[in-house]
Homo-oligomer: A and B are copies of this chain.
Amino acid sequence: MYGASDVRVETVPDPVLQQPGDALVRIVRSCICGSDLHPYHSMPANPEGSPMGHEFLGVVEDTGAEVSTLRVGDFVIGPFAWSDGTCEFCREGLYTSCLHGGFWGADGVGGAQAEALRVPLADGTLVKVPGIGEDDAVLPSLLTLSDVYGTGYHAATQAKVTKGDTVAVIGDGAVGLLAVLAAKQLGAERIILMGRHKDRTDLGLEFGATDVVAERGEEGIARVRELSGGHGAPKVLEAVGHMPAYEQAVGIVRPGGVISRVGVPQYDDAPVGFESLFGPNITLNGGPAPVRAYIEELLPAVLDGTVEPGKVFDRTIGFDEVPDGYRAMDEREALKVLIRP
């Protein structure tokens, strides 16, 4: 990406092993993320460009001397952050705060919207899945474990969604829809999905939403309160990242409740004073999901078909179509675009 709305497909040198802990991975599937649309809107023009993409399935092509758990030919899932798996934060499950880790497309590490990728700290980062073929029907669902499914799950676990809960989900993008699925898996009884794209909220209903609220602002707040006993939802999962979604969350959360954010905030300051969070003892939490922590946990139900988070992909493209894939997602023509190199 060279700036807002400026995505180009280019031929670059193949990545090579640089550190003894690196692995080289041939990308089998990657995709475009809702969070990629933030720079697509606002990135200042930059002649250097930024490699894009942070979600991938791939096959290990080569490994550095210190890689001990992966072999050439292994099929792997790549989480959206790379991490050593051994530092004090990784040991606590907070892989996104790894002391030695980082994010794709920065600091000399490439992006996953590519044919190949150098993966630092490969033992800690990659999750091997035996027995997967490169054209299996389960690939889209496996790919959601790179980010969107684990991110929706993080929203739900941070909000401590539990059996019988009433949960409101703000946003009908892939993360919001998978937050619905996660809330359902964790036993939520009432799941109110706020979104206004019928094809998406229909998928939300399939994933377990019990109610859809298409209204926004004061009207949307009133509707959610009405659906949740008059005082709001005790658990609110915010999967957008823009200020109106934050304000919506504050409006619909029940006193004593939680606003769990996984939409990357496109703001720095927000209301947290007496009227918004403090007076009613609201908890605000969430952040970039340590999806690496969730892959093993969520994998079995994906593999046996109990859940099909891959339904969020409604378009598959090749590399030449990637710029158009961004446009299609940005214009809400596609929910989530899968890239097949």
Residues of A within 8 A of B (CB): 88-89, 92, 94, 96-97, 158, 231, 255-256, 261, 264-265, 267-288, 290
- CB contacts (< 8 Å) of A96 on chain B: these are 279, 281
Instruction: Kindly report how many copies of this chain are found in the complex they form together.
Output: 2
With known contacts A265-B272, A272-B272, A273-B268, A284–B287 Cβ distance under 8 A: no
- CB contacts (< 8 Å) of A288 on chain B: these are 278-279, 281
Q: How far is the CA of A165 from the CA of B270 in the complex (A)?
A: 30
With known contacts A97-B256, A256-B92, A273–B265 Cβ distance under 8 A: yes
- CB contacts (< 8 Å) of A271 on chain B: these are 268-269
Q: How far is the CA of A256 from the CA of B285 in the complex (A)?
A: 9
Shortest distance between the CB of A46 and any CB in chain B (Å): 19
- CB contacts (< 8 Å) of A89 on chain B: these are 255-256
**Beta-carbon contact of B283 and A97 below 8 Å:** no
**Beta-carbon contact of B281 and A284 below 8 Å:** no
Chain B residue nearest to A96 in the complex (CB): B281
Q: How far is the CA of A276 from the CA of B268 in the complex (A)?
A: 8
Residue from the set A255, A264, A279, A286 with the largest chain B CB neighbour count within 10 Å? A255
Shortest distance between the CB of A91 and any CB in chain B (Å): 11
**Beta-carbon contact of A283 and B280 below 8 Å:** no
- CB contacts (< 8 Å) of A280 on chain B: these are 97, 287
**Beta-carbon contact of A273 and B284 below 8 Å:** no
Shortest distance between the CB of A236 and any CB in chain B (Å): 14
Q: How far is the CA of A158 from the CA of B258 in the complex (A)?
A: 12
* 9 smallest beta-carbon distances between A and B, as pairs: A281-B287, A97-B255, A268-B273, A283-B285, A269-B269, A94-B256, A284-B284, A265-B273, A270-B272
**Beta-carbon contact of B281 and A277 below 8 Å:** no
**Beta-carbon contact of A282 and B272 below 8 Å:** no
With known contacts A94-B256, A255-B97, A271-B269, A283–B281 Cβ distance under 8 A: no
Shortest distance between the CB of A242 and any CB in chain B (Å): 12
**Beta-carbon contact of B269 and A273 below 8 Å:** yes
